[in-house]
Amino acid sequence: MLRSMTGYGRAVASVGDRTATVEVRSVNHRYLDLVVRLPRSLGGLEERVRSTVQQRFERGRIEIAVTVEEHGAADRRVEIDRGLLLALRAALEEARAALGTAEPVTLSHVLSVPEVLRVEEPAPDLDAWWGVVSQALGQALESVVAMRAREGQALAADILHRLGRLEELAQQVRERAPAVVQEAAARLSQRLAELLPQGVDPQRLAQEVAIMADRCDISEELARIGSHLRQLRDLAADAAPAGRKMDFLLQELNREWNTIGSKAADARISQWVVEAKAELEKIREQVQNIE
């Protein structure tokens, strides 16, 4: 069954002291466009996240936001920039002397400069973090897949309904086509009789009618329309991504209906062509949201 490109999923996973929260949003896009937001310390996991998502989807703009939390005490180190510390003390002593104040230089004065103390975070264990991130990511992606499938069912139902109407219109045109040729032949015969009172050569008239019938023949267009509609039905029932193929077939259908409208030169067929093109446009709008 068809799958929509719109979906949302959120999941939280914990392994030991590590917790990861993953949010995934999916919207329409002509191709697969991934936006991955990770904590800076876990930037090395981006390719793994992308690879995991690419295995599940073929189209759509998919935004993945990952936040993490570590509950245990981190092995942080604090380093002192001794050179800067001594330089600051000397500068403050000089400033005190210049001002002629007896206020002593205290530790709080020199530590007020952020660069004096540096807190160094330990390098994260990417493999350990991937264990928890991948678990949350998988659960969030499952939610997205489920939502896209539900919306895809609704889209498929609407598309199949409209395909049924297109098949009805094609059948009406097929039944009307012979009468169009006959009516055109009668008009030609009447017109020639008005222009040539002495009579018309029956053989010449038959040749002209044959030429006109060939120009008005829409059997090939109707055959191709039937084939395209059957292919669309098959795609709507298939689980494989079908959006691009359906879009191409809709373009071909539009071309065939335009040709029928120009060949038939009949008011009723022209009306059916307009209705068919309106249905095609509605289907095309739905297909834009199909993976």
How confident is the model over 40-77, as pLDDT tens digits?
989 999 999 999 999 999 999 999 999 999 876 556 67
Q: Please tell me the distance from the alpha carbon of residue 76 to that of residue 78, in angstroms, as a whole number.
A: 7
| Whether this model's pTM surpasses 0.75 | no
Asked whether residue 286 carries a pLDDT value surpassing 90, the answer given is yes
pLDDT tens track for 82-140: 888 788 788 878 887 887 787 787 777 777 777 777 766 677 788 999 999 999 999 99
Strand pairing report for 18-27 and 77-80: unpaired
> Do both 171 and 276 map to the same domain?
yes
> Do both 228 and 143 map to the same domain?
no
> Do both 16 and 84 map to the same domain?
no
User: Could you give the number of structural domains in the chain?
Assistant: 3
- Residue-level pLDDT at 53: 96
Structural domain harbouring 270: 151-287
> Do both 101 and 142 map to the same domain?
no
> Do both 139 and 24 map to the same domain?
yes
> Do both 130 and 250 map to the same domain?
no
Which CATH number belongs to the domain containing residue 51 in this structure?
Answer: 3.30.230
User: Is 261 contained in some domain?
Assistant: yes
Confidence band of 245 (pLDDT split at 50, 70, 90): very high
- Residue-level pLDDT at 195: 62
- Residue-level pLDDT at 262: 84
User: Is 1 contained in some domain?
Assistant: no
User: Is 2 contained in some domain?
Assistant: no
Asked whether residue 209 carries a pLDDT value surpassing 70, the answer given is no
> Do both 155 and 283 map to the same domain?
yes
Which residues are CB-neighbours of 74 under 8 A, at least 6 positions away?
121, 122
Confidence band of 166 (pLDDT split at 50, 70, 90): very high
> Do both 11 and 139 map to the same domain?
yes
Please give the mean pLDDT across all residues of the chain. Answer: 86
> Do both 95 and 138 map to the same domain?
no
- Residue-level pLDDT at 212: 65
Reduce the secondary structure of the chain to three states and give it as a string.
CCCECCEEEEEEEEECCEEEEEEEEEECCCCEEEEEECCHHHHHHHHHHHHHHHCCCCCEEEEEEEEEEECCCCCCEEEECHHHHHHHHHHHHHHHHHHCCCCCCCHHHHHCCHHHEEEECCCCCHHHHHHHHHHHHHHHHHHHHHHHHHHHHHHHHHHHHHHHHHHHHHHHHHHHHHHHHHHHHHHHHHHHHHHCCCCCCHHHHHHHHHHHHHHHCCHHHHHHHHHHHHHHHHHHHCCCCCHHHHHHHHHHHHHHHHHHHHHHCCHHHHHHHHHHHHHHHHHHHHHCCEC
User: Is 228 contained in some domain?
Assistant: yes
> Do both 155 and 281 map to the same domain?
yes
> Do both 161 and 273 map to the same domain?
yes
> Do both 116 and 140 map to the same domain?
no
